């Protein structure tokens, strides 16, 4: 295990995306059943003009945080960086800048590790919910991870979310989630470890660890307690544990 991670007890996990405009959370498109084109229209007015990467990282540093993991793309499919693989991205909004590039520079200046949350779900990409387009979607997903691993310097973490074998989400939101399809994890993880040897890989699957994963995560809970019902898997011995909670 990477020594920097085992020595760094505290990190900041940041959710930020197009959904912040409506103020109902990152699942709002599915919860509110917002049509694709209506939701995509938010990009035309998205302009977080007050964003200041240095001030942002300064807050984290002053609070004793050792790393920042931020959403590169959440389930809504809106990329918060200048991806070459999609037009649905922040650099096509009125903001017009790549805040992840600015954040990466600020993290280097303050000596804080930068990590990326990567959604395995994408409600904007047509291949995600279409079995005929699945390979196209997987190529897109892996391609975005490669971009993140090559465009922003040294990374500390890649944090995956959206493959939940024990989740009730598909039943609660029928048609919005794809389950039991091949993600190509072996190839994906190998790429990350080759391109970013200091980065740890966490997959928020809540079902133990697979080869290539470095950390067992517990969302909104303490390891082993499962007080929320979201983390039924027992602690895996001998690996670092991470809890993400508000």
3-state secondary structure of 114: strand
User: How does the average pLDDT of the chain come out, rounded?
Assistant: 94
What pLDDT band is residue 246 in, cutting at 50, 70 and 90? low
| Chain segment 148-207, per-residue pLDDT in tens | 999 999 999 999 999 987 778 888 999 999 888 999 999 999 999 999 999 999 999 877
Phi, then psi, of 227 in degrees rounded to 5? -70, -20
CA–CA dist 37, 213 (Å, integer): 36
**Measured in whole angstroms, how far is the alpha carbon of residue 101 from the centre of its chain?**
16
User: Which residue has 């498109």 as its token pair?
Assistant: 29
Distance CA 134, CA 91 (A): 26
What the block records as the tokens of 7 is 């020595």
**What is the tally of helices (H) and strands (E) in the chain?**
8, 7
Q: What is the pTM of this model?
A: 0.96
Q: Which residues contact 12 (CB under 8 A, 6 or more apart)?
A: 60, 63, 65, 67, 68, 69
Q: Are 75 and 128 in contact (CB under 8 A)?
A: no
Question: Tell me: the pLDDT tens digits for 95-107?
Answer: 999 999 999 999 9
First and final CA of the chain: distance in angstroms? 26
DSSP class per residue in 127-157: TSS-GGGHHHHHHHHHHHHHHHHHHSS--SE
Residue 208, pLDDT above cutoff 80: no
pLDDT at residue 122 above 90? yes
């Amino acid at each position: 295990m990477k020594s920097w991670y085992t020595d760094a007890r505290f990190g900041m996990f940041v959710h930020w995306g197009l959904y912040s405009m409506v103020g109902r959370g990152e699942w709002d498109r599915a919860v509110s059943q917002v049509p694709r084109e209506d939701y995509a229209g938010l990009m035309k007015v998205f302009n977080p003009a007050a964003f200041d990467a240095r001030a942002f990282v300064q807050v984290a540093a002053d609070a004793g945080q050792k790393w920042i993991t931020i959403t590169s793309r959440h389930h809504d499919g809106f990329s918060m960086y200048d991806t070459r693989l999609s037009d649905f991205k922040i650099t096509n909004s009125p903001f017009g800048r790549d805040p992840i590039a600015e954040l990466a520079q600020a993290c280097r200046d303050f000596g804080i590790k930068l990590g990326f949350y990567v959604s395995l779900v994408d409600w904007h990409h047509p291949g995600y919910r279409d079995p005929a387009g699945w390979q196209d979607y997987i190529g897109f997903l892996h391609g975005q991870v490669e971009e993140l691993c090559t465009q922003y310097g040294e990374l500390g973490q890649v944090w995956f979310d959206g493959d939940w074998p024990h989740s009730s989400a598909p039943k609660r939101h029928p048609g919005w989630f794809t389950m039991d399809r091949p993600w190509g994890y072996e190839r994906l993880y190998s790429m990350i470890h080759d391109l970013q040897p200091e980065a740890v890989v966490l997959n928020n699957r809540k079902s133990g660890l697979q080869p290539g994963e470095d950390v067992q995560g517990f969302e909104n809970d303490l390891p082993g307690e499962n007080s929320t019902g979201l983390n039924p898997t027992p602690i895996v011995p001998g690996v670092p544990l991470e809890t993400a909670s508000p």
